[in-house]
Amino acid sequence: MSSNNSTARRRFFLESLGLILIALSPFLYKLHDYIPEDPEATINLFGFVLDKNGFDDVSTYVWFLLSKLIPLYLFIIWFFTCKHWWYHIILIPLCMYAFQIFEVVYYYSDSVDTENVLWLLPICMVVIPFVYFIRIKLYDKYVHGIDLEAMEAELQAFKEKNNKSILPRSLDAQQDVPETEVDLSENVSKRTLSKLFREFRLSLKNLFNFM
């Protein structure tokens, strides 16, 4: 009971946090208006110094970061709360914004948003076929009525049923074989003894006739 309550509280906290972040996204996007536009100005945020990083001023740099960070966390919330079968495809725009942030923060260049499309190609090559495979399975199941898992389960049950019916027959056959062998051996031994007895009797008869 306590574990269920803790799970419910954690879920309520995470959902409330996501709701607050979604509601605050327009206001967070306008934070750059409150940052000075002085080209030499810097921002000290929790011991982390934020400068203009190649932009005209720090205000422009923060505006660019917020234009990437806010869609990024909105896509993250959407990815973890989406219940549709195609939710994996959300990884593509999510990774696009993540690569754009990485490029502007750690990759020093005169231009931005240039090479991140090439970085997305490996992710697209994995995500798109995976989502298309899910789409084919769902289409076959709900449109054509082809449920491969149900067919496989039915086939497996049929095999198990046949194996159960064959097993007693094989056991009976194995049990009947020794009895047959015993009967045959006994019959052979009896016929041999009777043959020997007849030959012995004929020999005695011939002996007495000779005398």
pLDDT (tens digit, 9 = 90+) per residue, 9-54? 888 888 899 999 999 999 999 888 888 888 788 887 777 777 887 7
User: 131: part of which helix (H) or strand (E)?
Assistant: helix 116-142
Other CB atoms closer than 10 Å to residue 185's CB: what's the count? 10
- For position 116, what pLDDT does the model report? 66
pTM given for the model: 0.61
Instruction: Say whether 47 sits in a helix, a strand or coil.
Output: coil
**Is 50 in contact with 42 (CB distance < 8 Å)?**
yes
Low-confidence residues of the chain: pLDDT under 50 = 177, 179-184, 188, 207-208, 210-211
Task: From 28, 21, 29, 128, select the one nearest 75 (Cα to Cα).
Answer: 21
The pLDDT assigned to 68 comes to 92
Strand runs labelled E in 38-147 = 43-45, 48-50
Cβ neighbours around 210 below 10 Å, total: 6
SS3 48: strand
